[in-house]
Amino acid sequence: MTRFPPIPDAALNEDQRRMSAKASHTGPYPAFLRAPLLWEALQHVRIHLAQHSLLDAPLREVAMLATARHWRCTSAFASHRGLALKAGLDEATIAALAGEAQAEDLDGRRAAALAVTRALLREGGIDDSLHADALAALGEQALVELVGLIGFFTTICLTINLAGVSAEAPFAGAPGTYSASGHNPID
């Protein structure tokens, strides 16, 4: 179900036509088609995070899955499950993230990213101890880029939720319960 029905091609303005030619037509697409210049601006952030940041793919997937879980965005979680597996995360880690449990097998950088992501989303900030630990694990640039990733993916998740897009499976965390949608806002 989507709250934003398709716009006939003949009714698209120039910005919408440009977006439609470049964008995946899943996930938040129907909503962003109503604000194509915002979508274009977000693509600069997406490209930076995927191609130029210090955050590797597994770390990005940990943060994005935790963000999707926080916002109860089943569609984003489902579409990133396969990407997380491809990036090297295992089913146990994904199940832990789906259930908001501690992911036991994360290395220091990924564990720090998860702790920061969850603290920022739950509390709106982090304490000095977590900041020091995250700074030691990630460094200044990656820590700031992590915040950018969380903000970017929060925008994606909330737009998907606004559009009423959902996945079939709940956040059960069980292997094989999420179907890939093909939506891939980062890579």
- 0.85 surpassed by pTM: yes
Q: What contacts 76, CB < 8 A, 6 or more positions away?
A: 27, 64, 67, 68, 153, 156, 157, 160, 183, 185
Identify which has the larger pLDDT, 129 or 170: 129
The predicted pLDDT at position 186 comes to: 36
Residue 115 to residue 81: CA distance in whole angstroms: 19
Q: Is pLDDT above 50 for 176? A: no
Give percent above pLDDT 90 in the chain: 73
Question: What does the pLDDT look like over 44-103, one tens digit per residue?
Answer: 999 999 999 999 999 999 999 999 999 999 999 998 999 999 999 999 999 999 987 777
| pLDDT tens-digit readout, 129-161 | 999 999 999 999 999 999 999 999 999 999 999
